Amino acid sequence: MTRLRIAIIGYGDSGRGIHARLLREIGEEVSAVVTRSRERSAEAVADWPAAQVFASIEELLGSGPAPDLAVVATPTGLHTEHARALVEAGVPLVVDKPLATTAADARDVVVRAERDQVPLTVFQNRRWDTEQLTLAALLERGELGRVHRFERRWERWRPISKDRWKENAVDDGGGLLLDLGPHLVDSAVQLFGPVRRVYAEVRALHTPADDDVFLALEHESGVLSHLSAGSLVGAPGPRTRVLGAAGAYLVAGFEADPTPFAVLDDGAPADTHGWLLGGGARVAVPVAPGSHADFYRAVVEWVADGGAAPVDPWDAVRTAVVLDAARESATSGRRVVIQP
């Protein structure tokens, strides 16, 4: 199959460190990069010698035939502007999460794409996390019984914060609510369905933008999700805990982030992820296959052959609605009802 002509818009931690890496993993080439940074331009040329580097989307679109696919990996506050420009040009696109900083802007982008029949999807790569796939398989087998609570933590110990837009952009998409919140909310909704009420606590403890976030979601299914993200957590809690009538599922740690609960994984058999617990028993759970690269494998097939998007962009709108409600709740101190 002929490779796609792929452009990456933004070549920082996300564009280079995640999207370009995954595209290389599945054997795709990047034909164009958009960045204003001289340093990142040099990195793009070193990474992809055949790629053209442009200073703006306008330069990219005016240079000749449009790319087969554009990946928007710019800072969050620019997603709406850049997505609209690509939709207007008719270029199929992947937008890094979140699709926009507000539900209104997210909805506007999706409506425009549908109106102009431009393929659009959103990079919710954490759907392909080992823990998410393994938990979904566990739930499908019914081994937890009826679930009543889902907990997921994204906690780090960063007493010396990074000096970048995610930590500093207070009113332009920075902070953990919009950085990690889209992953946490999307994971909960994928597993347990739509949200009807939201309670949230959102604070800035150590950086200009929020770095301490707690969300309590009431799902229409009756499940309660407790989701937290923090950068000033000296003792991160267990990554995932799911409580059901027949037992619990526990994932002690996450990636390279240290946690005192990691000792629970000592002696875990190979090809397992997390533990099924109840009544003193502890059984290792077989790992479900899959990886983040599967997202881009699905994207390539989607662009080449059509069909359903790997991630329905309306899911990103629904996530944005929950995050808007979280901001409102954090300000008012009250639970916010999600309107159907």
Asked whether residue 137 falls in the same domain as residue 259, the answer is: yes
pLDDT band of 2, cuts 50, 70, 90: low
Residues 266-274: what's their mean pLDDT? Answer: 92
Question: Which residues are 53's β-sheet partners?
Answer: 33
- The CATH number of residue 27's host domain is 3.40.50.720
pLDDT tens track for 31-67 = 999 999 999 999 999 999 999 999 999 999 999 899 9
pLDDT interval class at 332 (50, 70, 90):
very high
Q: Is the pLDDT of residue 300 over 80?
A: yes
- Residue 313 included in any domain: no
Tell me which DSSP letter residue 3 carries.
P
100 and 72 both lie in a single domain: yes
Q: Coil, helix or strand for 185?
A: helix
Query: Token match 């909960």: residue?
Result: 188
Q: How many domains does the chain have?
A: 2
C-alpha to C-alpha distance for 87 and 280, rounded to whole angstroms: 55
Residues 223 and 275 in one domain: yes
Specify if 219 maps to a domain: yes
pTM: 0.95
Q: Are residues 15 and 107 both part of a single domain?
A: yes
Q: What mean pLDDT do residues 136-145 have?
A: 97
Q: Which residue has the higher pLDDT, 158 or 183?
A: 183
Phi–psi pair at 285, nearest 5 degrees: -100, 130
For residue 244, give the CATH number of its domain: 3.30.360.10
State which residues form the domain around 202: 127-290+325-332
Do 185 and 52 share a structural domain? Answer: no
Beta bridge partners of 123: 96
Position 327: which residue type? R
Q: Which helix (H) or strand (E) holds 243?
A: strand 240-244
Instruction: Identify whether residues 158 and 91 lie together within a single domain.
Output: no
Are residue 185 and residue 273 in the same domain, yes or no?
yes
Nearest CA-CA partner of 296 in 141, 106, 116, 71: 71
Whether 203 and 247 map to the same domain: the answer is yes
